[in-house]
Amino acid sequence: MRFVTHPIARFLGRRLLYSLAVLFGVLVVVFGLMQLVPGDPVRIALGTRYTPEAYQALRSASGLDRPILEQFVGYLTSAVRGDLGVSFRNGDPVTLVLLERLPATVSLALAGIAIALAIALPAGIWSALRDGRAGAAAVRVASQVGVSVPDFWMGILLIALFASTLGWLPTSGYRALSDDPVGWLRHLVLPALTVGLVAAAIMTRYIRSAVLEVAAAGHVRTARSKGLSPWVLTVRHTVRNALIPVLTITGIQLATILGGVIVVEVVFAWPGLGRLVYNAVAARDYPVIQGAVLLIAALFLLINLLVDLLYAIVDPRIRLA
């Protein structure tokens, strides 16, 4: 009997193989670049605790005394089992360190993208439908300003206003959601606003362009000539057909935030992946850098997969095959 698989299963199988190939390529590139960085990471990690005995012990425990090819094969074998090595700085398992930082990054990413969508969707659609008027021009100018302002400067301005001047919110730090929900929310607002405002400026421009393109299409003009109400014309015929590029830019922005907004996390002392990578680079903590880059690449691939699946849901004309 011939075995028949569902199209979604075939699609997911192909994407899984593709993702594994990409992750392997990322691992090869990152591992190779780490070998080219000048300096001795073990010596730097030990700092004032350096002794010849401690140096040799840490070098042997991390496998840096073996040939490069043997190091790579050993790291690849361990990574498949979920073992990404141990940190040079404190000896903690890299996998555990990453899992500890992931909730902070996920909460910041989800809050930031929610703020961005809440601003960009109505602003982009409204400015497209009122193209050529003063209000639409104001939205274009505001989005251009938002794109031009660096995210760290946006964060400093928000701190100066809401923390220093008004005293409503804390300037930095983090609280776990399970320990202090109110404290978690108060500490989340400013970094999420910073990330969300910058992302909203970018997304508003894409949404406006997508709605303008669909509004000029033939089927929309035909629907307008039939006397449909502006609400039906906008929701069913314009916005719905403009969702594909909106999903694309939303996925890109969400993956970017999940990958770690380094400057924002440093400004707000937010314990996410971006700040972890920043500290690891400063300390030459190679295992943490390699593990974090591998996790960020996996998050990008996961978001891309989810966006592809949403394409088929939003537009039935798109087939996963």
The answer as to whether 187 is a domain residue is yes
pLDDT at 193: 92
The answer as to whether 45 is a domain residue is no
> What domain count does the chain have?
1
Residue-by-residue pLDDT tens, the chain, 321 positions: 444 456 667 777 787 888 888 888 888 888 887 777 666 667 766 666 777 777 777 777 666 777 778 878 888 888 888 888 888 777 788 889 999 888 888 899 999 999 999 999 888 888 887 777 777 788 888 888 888 888 888 888 999 988 888 888 888 888 888 888 888 899 999 999 999 998 998 889 888 888 887 776 666 667 666 666 666 666 666 777 777 778 888 888 888 888 767 888 888 888 888 888 888 887 778 888 888 888 888 888 888 888 877 777 766 666 555
Q: What is the CATH number of the domain that holds 175?
A: 1.10.3720.10
The answer as to whether 180 is a domain residue is yes
**Whole domain around residue 255: which residue ranges?**
102-314
pLDDT at 89: 77
**Can you give the pTM of this predicted structure?**
0.81
* Residue 6 DSSP symbol: -
Q: How far apart are the first and last CA of the chain?
A: 23
CA nearest 23: which of 308, 311, 304? Answer: 304
